[in-house]
Structure 1
Amino acid sequence: MKTATRRVLIGPVLLLLAALLAMAAVAAPGAYAAGGLDAAAAVLRKGPVYVDPRASGQFPASQADALTKKIKDSGKPVFVAVLPRTSDYQPRTLLQDLRTKVGISGVYAVEFGDRFNAGADPRVMPRSAVQNLVGAVNRSSYPTVAERLNSFVDTAAGEARGHAPSSWGSTGGAGFDTGTAIGIGALIVIGGGGAYAITRRNRRRRAEEERAALEELRVVVDEDITAFGEELDRLDFDPGEPGADDAMRADYAHALDAYEDAKSAMAAAEHPRDVQAVTRALEDGRFSLATLAARREGKPVPERRPPCFFDPRHGPSAVDVAWAPSGGAERTVPVCAADKARLDEGREPLARTVRTPQGDRPYWDAGPAYAPWAGGYFGSGLLPGLLVGTVLGHMMMSTPAYGADFGGYQGADGGDVTGADFNPDDFGGGFGDGGFGGGDGGFGGDF
């Protein structure tokens, strides 16, 4: 019996050591490789710096190696690409496409021809911080690419949240030798059983927390679904009534579909993040009702605007107003006409309150469980700015579990592999419109 057990253990150990020794024998990839986004992404998944060979005159290998060491030593997920301005790279979607292909959350800086820009997953660095940093670098008029990139990295590495990707390997020092491989192999075998037990316990704890958060959300979401259903019941519209046209009937049908979609999504929800689909459907349905009302009254179809910040059940917002939460900084929020009138009269808006252990509170002063609820209504591009200085906003910016466990819109921690699963709003629609959090509107233009 002991012999059989020993054989079971020795086999995997030998295979593991062989794999580790093979890894040790392979040299780390350099910063240079054939041009194109695929080549850039392949290099950046294995190290922090990529230089297209056609741009090597701007940033030679010695400088690229020094910058690579600096970033690795910082242990932060900062990616740098130096690219020529050629048709291989599309200016308006360059940073978004690069982030998609690399598939790792982090800060991405690109020297593109003679232009510089950067962006980041908001969980790693807030959009305003990226904009300020890029603007400062560009306004400093550094004479060389090396000075510009080093200036950016020096600050970004100090401010970025998260960790260097595990795919980068060692962050410097003595390297990875045979003795290290053998030691790692032994530790893995010895600690494997304990690690497995810890992993199972953590998974159970996370599942319990998610179930509790989902049940907390369910009360609020069911109230929203019911409120929208009551709006549909009160709607005095018959698709066959005189004056009804195809556009009106389409709006009405879309609102009914949104109601059914919201109910189905809530019934199928298994995680807090699944609630985003519910509130997104409700927001879509309410806009359809607003469009139907305008058509019936002979008014122009309203522009698509976010819902009222104070209570999304009020429907699409009418205007943006300056507002500050108690003890917080002023910011611009979208509000409905009724809440705008209340604010103009010096009264408090009708805020959406939720139950908390401290009593009913506005949703922005409640806990992190309400993040996916709010995210479905407002989307990741708008939500962080609206919530700065509130309890929910603080959770978004400071609690890693907020994004990872509860579907919060700040996304994964820096250095985590997400593939193409990130909100493109965080990276903008292209450099021409200031996308990806760039400091000066991006590279812009076509070839």
Structure 2
Amino acid sequence: MKTAIRRALFGPVLLLMAVMLAMVTALAPGAHAADGLDEAAAALKQGPVYVDPRAADRFSQAEADALAKKIKDADKPVFVAVLPKAPEFQPETLLQDLRTKVGISGVYAVELGKGFNAGADPAVMSRSAVDNLVGAVKRSQYPTVTERLNSFVDSAGTQANGRAPTAWDAGAGGFDVGTAVGLGALVVVGGGGAYAIARRNRKRLEAEERAALEDLRVVVDEDITAFGEELDRLDFSPGEPGADDAMRADYSHALDAYENAKSAMAAAEHPGEVRAVTEALEDGRFSLATLAARRAGEPLPERRLPCFFDPRHGPSVVDVQWAPPGGAERTVPVCAADKTRLDEGMEPMARTVRTETGDRPYWDAGPAYGPWVGGYFGGGLLPGLLIGTMLGNMMMTSPAYGADFGGPGGDVSGSDFNPDDFGGGFGDGGGFDAGGFGGDGGFGGGF
């Protein structure tokens, strides 16, 4: 949501700035782009695909334009570079150097000579997801660069979190002097109008965001209250007979989670920030379950996801097959009570939330509940759990939902990232590296 507001506010301004920059560039004597990696980074700041002129025989301009359109239509921060084997492109550090120079969180895929690899900021795509996508592309042994890159982008475009950088909307290029001067005049005339549009869009998006947060606040406050009641019912005293340090640590951790949840909700200004609240509650409930097992002298519980039907039920104990009305079966984690109800042919005790059509199970409510459920279950598992439901469909089809739910992507973050997420090199050996970034750096050749 924050990204959407920035887009509405700054998009027109960035466009005007790009026009002015184009004018300066077109008119400046001897103006030219930097060489090698700097040129690639500069191009990727303005658009999702860059092809080094020396690699144009392997990936044409038409193919590059089609791939760029696909990425922009998906509205995801996916960057693609097609580069030749050249001294300025050091295979072992190319991904992290490119990410550093571009300075934008996202997924970076690079075709270097006859090698291919990718890296990503974890908030945009997990390292395991990137490794799996790269491995799938390599093992498919596509005969052309076009097939490899389109295969990767098709998958990355559906899995990546975040939205495309706002700078792509203002990507200036191909301005001649006459066009630049003509558009420069529009900067003066249209500046006030662009600001007015940006201001109106900002107010509209802020209003939508406030409404979504208020919808969430009702549900989250109920969750926090329920957790506080669980703490009271526990009736544990750190000084009671039989209490040991492990029990006291569990209890202290649960109390901290309760306070953290309350503080996070009080400070929340955007719907996406609610995820931190439910993450804290999930963590606290597991501490309570561990404490209860210690007091009863029972085996400690396995760390499992909360009960799918209502996270307030606490950690699940088993996975079962379940299908929503009219939907396909899927495996969901459930608590012992809901497992018994299902075994007896009864409906589970589902968590309902308010909607315009009355109380509905949370998975049949609107996208505002995405951050709430994401804190309990995590982003990677939810599409499978919720497929075929209203919330699941929102996750699959709404770019805005991905941005709010998954965290930052497409945001300027400079060189503040973990270089391990962009490791690997580009080998031109005769085979395919089946996974990871080991051996020749994770870039098997043979294309």
TM over 0.5: yes
Helix, strand or coil at the partner of 2:303: coil
Unaligned runs of 5+ in 1: 1-14, 432-438
Deviation digits for residues 173-193 of structure 1 (CA, Å, limit 9, x no counterpart): xx2211121122112222111
Q: Partners in 1 of 2:67 and 2:262 — Cα distance?
A: 48
The answer on 1:80 being equivalent to 2:81 is yes
1:249 to partner: Cα distance: 0.5
Query: Counterpart in 1 of 2:316?
Result: 317
Counterpart of 1:261 in structure 2: which amino acid? N
Q: Partners in 2 of 1:215 and 1:190 — Cα distance?
A: 40
Which one of 22, 25, 37 corresponds to residue 23 of structure 1?
A: 25
CA gap 1:281/1:192 in 2 versus in 1, 3 angstroms:
same
CA gap 1:127/1:366 in 2 versus in 1, 3 angstroms:
farther
The answer on 1:269 being equivalent to 2:247 is no
The answer on 1:365 being equivalent to 2:360 is no
For residues 221-370 of structure 1, the aligned pairs below 5 Å read 221-370=220-369
For residues 44-55 of structure 1, the aligned pairs below 5 Å read 44-45=44-45, 48=48
Contact 2:18 2:172 in 1 (8 A): no
Query: Counterpart in 1 of 2:204?
Result: 205
Contact 1:342 1:349 in 2 (8 A): yes
Deviation digits for residues 264-307 of structure 1 (CA, Å, limit 9, x no counterpart): 22222222222112111111110111121222233343332221
1:373 to partner: Cα distance: 0.9
Query: Counterpart in 2 of 1:445?
Result: 438
Deviates more, 1:348-357 or 1:121-130: 121-130
Contact 1:104 1:418 in 2 (8 A): yes
Q: Partners in 2 of 1:420 and 1:312 — Cα distance?
A: 37
Which one of 404, 408, 414 corresponds to residue 405 of structure 2?
A: 408
Contact 1:85 1:112 in 2 (8 A): no
Query: Counterpart in 1 of 2:149?
Result: 153
Q: Partners in 2 of 1:423 and 1:276 — Cα distance?
A: 22
Which one of 16, 39, 58 corresponds to residue 63 of structure 1?
A: 58
Counterpart of 1:417 in structure 2: which amino acid? D
1:27 to partner: Cα distance: 3.3
1:408 to partner: Cα distance: 2.5
Query: Counterpart in 1 of 2:12?
Result: none
Q: Partners in 2 of 1:20 and 1:171 — Cα distance?
A: 7
Query: Counterpart in 2 of 1:7?
Result: none
Query: Counterpart in 2 of 1:3?
Result: none
Q: Partners in 2 of 1:41 and 1:320 — Cα distance?
A: 46
- Structure scoring higher RCO (CA < 8 A, sep ≥ 6) equals 2
Q: Partners in 1 of 2:334 and 2:417 — Cα distance?
A: 24
Query: Counterpart in 2 of 1:109?
Result: 109
Contact 1:121 1:410 in 2 (8 A): no
CA RMSD of aligned residues (A): 4.4
Q: Partners in 2 of 1:326 and 1:411 — Cα distance?
A: 34
Deviates more, 1:281-290 or 1:303-312: 303-312
Counterpart of 2:413 in structure 1: which amino acid? G
1:20 to partner: Cα distance: 3.2
Q: Partners in 2 of 1:111 and 1:128 — Cα distance?
A: 20
Counterpart of 2:176 in structure 1: which amino acid? D
CA gap 1:19/1:370 in 2 versus in 1, 3 angstroms:
closer
Using the size of structure 1 for normalisation, the TM-score is 0.73
Equivalent residues, number: 398
Which one of 413, 421, 424 corresponds to residue 419 of structure 1?
A: 413
Query: Counterpart in 2 of 1:12?
Result: none
Deviation digits for residues 379-426 of structure 1 (CA, Å, limit 9, x no counterpart): 22222332222111222232344345xx323765xxx435389999xx
Helix, strand or coil at the partner of 1:419: coil
Deviates more, 1:149-158 or 1:222-231: 149-158
CA gap 1:128/1:29 in 2 versus in 1, 3 angstroms:
same
1:353 to partner: Cα distance: 0.5
Query: Counterpart in 1 of 2:138?
Result: 138
1:49 to partner: Cα distance: 5.6
Deviates more, 1:129-138 or 1:330-339: 129-138
CA gap 1:357/1:168 in 2 versus in 1, 3 angstroms:
closer
Helix, strand or coil at the partner of 2:304: coil
Q: Partners in 1 of 2:225 and 2:346 — Cα distance?
A: 28
CA gap 1:349/1:292 in 2 versus in 1, 3 angstroms:
same
Deviation digits for residues 109-150 of structure 1 (CA, Å, limit 9, x no counterpart): 34579764557899999999989976764344346xxx1x21
Deviation digits for residues 147-185 of structure 1 (CA, Å, limit 9, x no counterpart): 1x211234566784776874597687xx22111211221
Using the size of structure 2 for normalisation, the TM-score is 0.73
Helix, strand or coil at the partner of 1:375: helix
Helix, strand or coil at the partner of 1:355: strand
CA gap 1:335/1:107 in 2 versus in 1, 3 angstroms:
same
CA gap 1:340/1:411 in 2 versus in 1, 3 angstroms:
farther
Deviation digits for residues 212-244 of structure 1 (CA, Å, limit 9, x no counterpart): 212211111111111001100000321112221
CA gap 1:21/1:208 in 2 versus in 1, 3 angstroms:
closer
CA gap 1:323/1:428 in 2 versus in 1, 3 angstroms:
farther
Q: Partners in 2 of 1:127 and 1:423 — Cα distance?
A: 13
CA gap 1:81/1:241 in 2 versus in 1, 3 angstroms:
farther
% of aligned pairs identical? 63
Q: Partners in 2 of 1:443 and 1:266 — Cα distance?
A: 39
Query: Counterpart in 2 of 1:181?
Result: 180
Q: Partners in 1 of 2:385 and 2:208 — Cα distance?
A: 26
Contact 1:29 1:47 in 2 (8 A): no
